[in-house]
Amino acid sequence: MKIGMVTDSVAQLGTDAMLDYAAELGLDAIELCVGNWGDAAHIGDVAELLADTKRQRELRARIQDRGLEISAFTANGNQLHPTDGERQSKVVYDALRLAEIFEVPRIVLMSGLPAGAPGDSMPNWITTSWPPETQQALDYQWNEVAIPYWKTLADFANARGVNQLCIEAHGAQLVHNMPSFMQLRDAVGPTVGLNFDPSHFIWMGGDPIEMIRRYSECIYHVHAKDTYIDTHNLADATRLDSRSMDRVLERSWSYVTLGYGQPEAWWREFCWQLQARGYGDGVLSIEHEDQNLSRNEGMRRSVELLNRVMPREQPDFVLPG
């Protein structure tokens, strides 16, 4: 396996400084953010980059000169937003165009979250099956908005040689767990896969290692990010905690540096299961969102942990006889 990072984790650095930092950390790959909820801090104006072959060559050379590769282009946002979706969808399509130019077979994005009914102006995350109107809202969200959008998106991606649309399952998104992911994949096809981020499943109460066992063929890209569960706050807040992420001492859960939520042994099994189930050539892309450690310290500690637990080479043991 390889170690990478989401470039927005160090958005304070200029492009060359970010690339030098990635090389200094011994990383293999970078995940370049294109826009929407990310800053696109390291690729500049996307429209200009798409139109300028010289800039494309220069950026490619700057990355390769540090011994790095691009694991994915990222366009996380809400392209199904009822009033702002068109703008955010353009970023997704631009990410696909960049992936084609740079010969990267995947982009990372979220599923999006539509309104609950035609004419609504805000997205609506349905988290229960009752009262009955929840099912009417879900039927509209899936069958009238999400599935038609994703079928068109998959066709556009496949026509450009980008065959991995890597969904990051997340709260307040239509795809937030494995049943909702499989609903979309079954409707659209295997171009839809996972950007597997264990931190999101941890705070929602899932078991990421069991998910690897069950859904390994769907994992196209992996984020390395951890979640700390504060059991004292969980007792009354539950896992559905909508308070600001900077209120870490009050929240029931928070995103943290690798090893500060799940123990090192957990991450060792996480990596072992990925390797054993076919992700041996894949990238673990570190995403720093820790409110309590600096970006530099969080990145360095995450790289150190992965270097201790992550298989670097392909298995080659041959049974005797």
Give the DSSP H or E segment for 133. Answer: helix 133-139
For the stretch 127-133, contacts whose Cβ atoms lie closer than 8 Å and that sit 24 or more positions apart, written own/partner, are 127/240
Domain ranges of the chain: 2-309
Q: What is the pLDDT of residues 270-291, one digit of tens each?
A: 999 999 999 999 999 999 999 9
Residue 321: its pLDDT value, please?
A: 83
Query: Rounded to an integer, what distance in angstroms lies between the CA atom of residue 253 and that of residue 230?
Result: 6
Q: Low-confidence residues of the chain, pLDDT below 50?
A: none
Residue 40 has what pLDDT? 87
User: Tokens at residue 127, please?
Assistant: 């988290």
Q: Quick check: helix, strand or coil at residue 30? A: strand
Which homologous superfamily does the CATH classification assign to the domain defined by 2-309?
Answer: Divalent-metal-dependent TIM barrel enzymes (3.20.20.150)
DSSP H or E run through 154 = helix 147-159
Instruction: Enter the DSSP assignment of 145.
Output: I
The confidence score (pLDDT) of residue 82 equals: 98
Exposure string for 7-25, b = 16+ CB within 10 A, e = fewer: bbbbeebebeebbebbeeb
Cβ count near 163 (within 10 Å):
14
**How far apart (Å, rounded) are the C-alpha atoms in residues 237 and 134?**
23
If we measure between CA atoms, which residue out of 174, 34, 156, 158 comes closest to residue 110?
A: 174
Record the pTM. 0.97
pLDDT at 310: 97
